[in-house]
A and B are shown apart, each in its own frame.
Chain A
Amino acid sequence: MRPNRFGPALPKTTPFTLGDSFILCGVAALLYVGHHLAFHAPAAISGPDVSLSPYLLPWYALLSVGRMAAAYLLSLCFSLFYGYAAARRRTARVVLMPLLDVLQSIPILSFLPVVLLSLTAIMPDYLAAELAAIILIFTSQAWNMTFSFYQSMTTIPGDLREAAAIFRFDGWTRFKTMELPFAAMGLLWNSMMSWSGGWFFLMAAEIFHIGSRDFRLPGLGSYLQTAASRGDTAAVLMGVATLVSLILLLDQLVWRPLVVWCNKFKIEMLEGEGPPTSWFYDLLGRSWLVDFVGRRVWQPFLDRVDRLETSRPSTVIIAMPGEVSGQAAFSFPFLAALGSLAVAIFYGSWQAVSLLWGVPLPVWGEVFSGLFATFLRVCAALAVALLWTVPVGVAIGTNRRLARILQPMVQVVAAIPATALFPILLLALLATPGGLNIAAITLMLMGTQWYLLFNVIAGASAIPQDLLQTTALLRLPPAERWRTLILPALFPYIITGAITASGGAWNASIVAEYVEFGGRTHSVTGIGALIARATAGNDYALLLAATLLLVVTVVVINRIFWQKLYRLAEERYRLE
């Protein structure tokens, strides 16, 4: 089932709960622990040189893809376990779902120094840098996939669940024949979204300065940054070209075939019109080798797994088709673990608070004014995005011929991570007055406008033909037509897109407001700049203060502003 709106589903939660404060304490504690560990990190590190030779580009591209793939595998496993636990156990759900909601609003980049420095304290630098990059990408990929899997798990039709129960499927059979196939479509689409999110942060994660420690990983992101910072336009162009061809290649060789293959997991009983096609999938289907491996390796392997499962005594407990009851979860080890976790969190957050206590009042003033400045930038980016995406999206969504020509182009352009283009942008804009401000807003815009555009296109193409025709017959003037039909019909889609977009924009502020370029540091007032500055200057109190404030702001805006609009959209502007 293809999600007709792109973005995370909002869990229905109340504005601020006890669980939230618990989780925030946990976040503060984590930051504190990282800071504590970081003291033991080596004082100065110089990374390997990144060469601009074009012959190295394929190798760099391979390294970057490898990092992405590792992070993606991690995200996939995490999504499956986390989503499964949250869906099957009520007690787990109470903690896990709000936690996920907060996790996805955390500015990922402000965790990088903490993660990186903690890792260098316990392992070699290069390994720490690799791991940190992978963890960073993981945190940009995992949440929406987890939400998707959880949602699929909880929306499996009742009759299928009952059939699984009455035919006494054990856990493995249930997972293999029902839960995973049902979730496959949603997981796939979200995986694709996650990969574009991953590219965005990979570009930022391959070169990182923390104080006098310079972390570098050979890869496409570091290549682009180095090239831009040396002003080598030819190298920048080559890097971008490599990245674009890489993304296109992955689309053709991995994602499209997967989409075609996943089409069989559609739940609808009707044959859809125009199923997706892929030349590579067809090619694989005709290949003798694939057939051979499938029959001789994959099928026996699956049988082996099945037999392993079925060789266990058949005393499986046959549960009701619903969820596992939470009773068993309250065992002693569980309670003990929960208790020690609570103690640790309490201790950590206590330390974090004492760290915050040391932040002087003027600095707090700076943090709040920075927050306000970034807020204005986020609003500006959203406004600009809305201004162009709505008309263009409606044009594409309501005009089939235009859609055929433009849709693939838009998809390619959207696939280029904004962070890859950021150095070029800086090259062009830094010299102009207010240059970084414009560049920052542009980066936020580039990272977020696509969510809006795709949602508007989806919304516009979902407007029923009869309503469009009626409006045409009534000969309403254009302004009236937009007011009575198009905007109300688009409203839910715009809201869904805007929620994702604004979250992304806040996150992008850390990359956008503070840049080291051509050997100099440029920055504008903003919370992202503060976080980046605190990172570069080893100022953990400031990092903690700014990060916590950013998290609280994003969560509160989500809960109070966006969720209200989302509910309005669901209730009043839904076209059935």
Chain B
Amino acid sequence: MREKPLSSNAAVPERLLELRGVVRSYGQGERQLVAVEKVDLAIQAGEFVCLLGPSGCGKSTLLRIIAGLDSATSGIVLYRGEPLLTVNPYATIVFQTFALYPWLTVLENVEVALKARRIPRPERRERALRLIDTVGLDGFESAYPREISGGMRQKVGFARAMAVEPELLCLDEPFSALDVLSAEALRGELLELWQNRRIPTRAILMVTHNIEEAVLMADRVVVMGKDPGHIVADVPVTLRHPRQRKDTAFQAWVDRIYGLVTGRRVAVAVAGAQARKKLPHAHLNALAGLVEKLLAEAGHNDLYRLSGELVLELDDLLPIVEAGELLGFVTVHEGDLILTPLGKAYAEANILARKELIAARILRLPLINWIYETLQQDNNHRVAWEYFLEKFESDFGDRAEKQLDIAIMWGRHAELFAYDDKDGELYLEG
């Protein structure tokens, strides 16, 4: 591990970055959307820290605040004890989307970063070539980004970031746009460069939503939750390198972190949904699929295994689970998903019976019920979409339109009511 040689004051590692009570919000007043709420975080020299969380938890926002690309609405960002006011001169970012200039060659893409630092031409060429060599791209200097594979493009991204010798290297989901094999290869290469100190970088901060990736690479995992984005847990990963995915110790760590991510999240999400009567972003067709899969697996399955088997990100699976809970088809118990008797009846029913069951269940939801009642009381059974949106806005603000979309989608599915795009009205079915 990267630790300073022992000396009298080595017990206190050097603190590079510190966030105190950082808040980032957009808009004002009623419409205010809080992306990040009161985050405290510190990064020491020698650390590889992972920010882990579902999409929309504000982890990328936090990364941008740390890099100085975005500023906090309130709170303090200190780098080496100094408040950060502009772009962080000690940090660079490796982007998920690579952010290479398509009209520059591999060499030029790396060189331009050095040129901006006013390094004279001969030196900058030499340094760029050396870094391209370091990441294993020699021979491709004159290629354009569109001519090389995704994994190679990201290598250019790394070479460019390392060229300016940042003290803090920020990685924004750097492997998630790559195919599985390239991603794994690149992870290994980055770890090797870092652990053998072949790059002068003193700390790495990586944003990811991939739990295994975090456990594989990080010394410390900071778990974030959403609505609004906040830190749920901050856990040092004490596994020794090289870490092997197949190891039971590794798997135990994955399970533990998984519990931190989902356990809290499911509880919070479901409680929140009940309290604000919010509908999860889920298609009822997908719920049908989930329920059928559970039935085929004797009524219960581990959530983590399920997301793997369904090739669904946790972000995409959880809303479906929430919908299932809302309708009473499934329950969640310690990371296990369990089919209820009602859910079993649903899974075994035919299409018509399913529709009726869904209709009966969603009418118990206050939002859907209110729309249904409103339409029934209208003489023509037609009411303008704006009317509903207005009412929704007082409850949901910015998210009103999305909520109304979901309500309409569910109403259509159950053949309760539908939306006429031409007149912009909702109307009663049947």
Using CB atoms and an 8 Å cutoff, list the residues of chain A in contact with chain B: 157, 159-160, 162-163, 165-170, 173, 177-178, 181, 264-271, 303, 306, 310, 314, 317-321, 572
Contact = CB atoms under 8 A, between A and B. Distances in A.
Interface in B99-114: 99, 101-104, 112-113
Contact of A264 (B64, B87, B93, B103): B103
Given A271-B147, A321-B69, A168 B99 contact: no
Contact of B116 (A169, A270, A319): A169
A179 to B, nearest CB: 11
A310 B117 CA distance: 9
A266 B116 CA distance: 23
Given A173-B112, A181-B101, A266-B146, 15 more contacts: A157-B97, A162-B64, A162-B99, A163-B95, A163-B99, A165-B69, A166-B88, A167-B92, A167-B113, A177-B101, A266-B102, A268-B146, A271-B147, A320-B69, A572-B421
B103 A265 contact: yes
Contacts of A169: 112, 116
Nearest to A306: B115
Nearest to B153: A269
Nearest to A272: B146
A314 B118 CA distance: 8
A162 B93 contact: yes
Given A268-B146, A321-B69, A166 B91 contact: yes
17 contacts: A162-B69, A162-B99, A166-B67, A166-B68, A166-B69, A167-B112, A177-B112, A181-B101, A181-B103, A267-B102, A269-B102, A269-B153, A317-B86, A318-B86, A319-B86, A320-B70, A321-B69
A497 B117 CA distance: 47
Contact of B146 (A173, A270, A318): A270
Contact of A269 (B69, B70, B145): B145
Contact of B87 (A157, A165, A170, A306): A165
A167 B128 CA distance: 14
Contacts of A317: 86
A309 B93 CA distance: 25
B214 interface: no
A168 B89 contact: yes
A177 B69 contact: no
B68 to A, nearest CB: 8
Nearest to B112: A177
Contacts of A271: 146-147
A314 B119 CA distance: 11
Main secondary structure of the interface of B (DSSP, over half): loop
Contact of B164 (A162, A167, A177): A167
Contact of B93 (A163, A168, A177, A303): A163
B429 to A, nearest CB: 23
A168 B116 contact: yes
B144 interface: yes
Listed from nearest, the 6 A-B pairs whose CB atoms lie closest are: A159-B99, A163-B99, A167-B113, A318-B87, A181-B103, A169-B116
B142 to A, nearest CB: 13
Nearest to B88: A166
Contact of B144 (A163, A264, A572): A264
B31 interface: no
A554 to B, nearest CB: 31
A160 B95 CA distance: 9
A267 B87 CA distance: 26
B121 interface: yes
B92 A269 contact: no
A173 B69 contact: no
A157 B98 CA distance: 12
Contacts of A572: 421
A168 B160 CA distance: 13
B19 to A, nearest CB: 18
Contacts of B102: 265-269
Contacts of B89: 168
Contacts of A266: 102, 146
Interface in B19-58: none
B144 A166 contact: no
Interface in B108-141: 112-113, 115-118, 121
Contacts of B164: 167
A168 B147 contact: no
B103 A168 contact: no
Nearest to B97: A159
B362 to A, nearest CB: 29
Contacts of B87: 165-166, 168, 318, 320
Contacts of A269: 102, 145-146, 153
B118 A310 contact: yes
Given A159-B99, A271-B146, A170 B93 contact: no
Contact of B104 (A166, A177, A268): A177
Contacts of A162: 64, 69, 93, 95, 99
B100 to A, nearest CB: 8
Contact of A167 (B70, B116, B145, B147): B116
Contacts of A181: 101, 103
A186 to B, nearest CB: 14
A173 B116 contact: yes
Contacts of B69: 162, 165-166, 320-321
Contact of A168 (B98, B117, B146, B421): B117
Nearest to B92: A166
A531 B70 CA distance: 54
Contacts of A270: 146
Contact of B101 (A178, A268, A303): A178
A173 B111 CA distance: 12
A177 B99 CA distance: 13
A317 B86 CA distance: 9
Contacts of B117: 167-168
Contacts of A160: 99, 101
A224 B147 CA distance: 51
Contacts of B115: 173, 306, 310
Contacts of A268: 102, 146
Given A166-B69, A166-B87, A169-B116, A159 B95 contact: yes
A141 B69 CA distance: 37
B150 to A, nearest CB: 9
A170 B112 CA distance: 11
B121 A303 contact: yes
Interface string B152-170: 0100000010001000000
A162 B68 CA distance: 10
A487 to B, nearest CB: 17
A266 B103 CA distance: 7
Taking each of A163, A269, A271, which has the highest tally of chain B beta carbons within 10 Å of its own beta carbon? A163
B269 to A, nearest CB: 28
Contacts of A170: 116
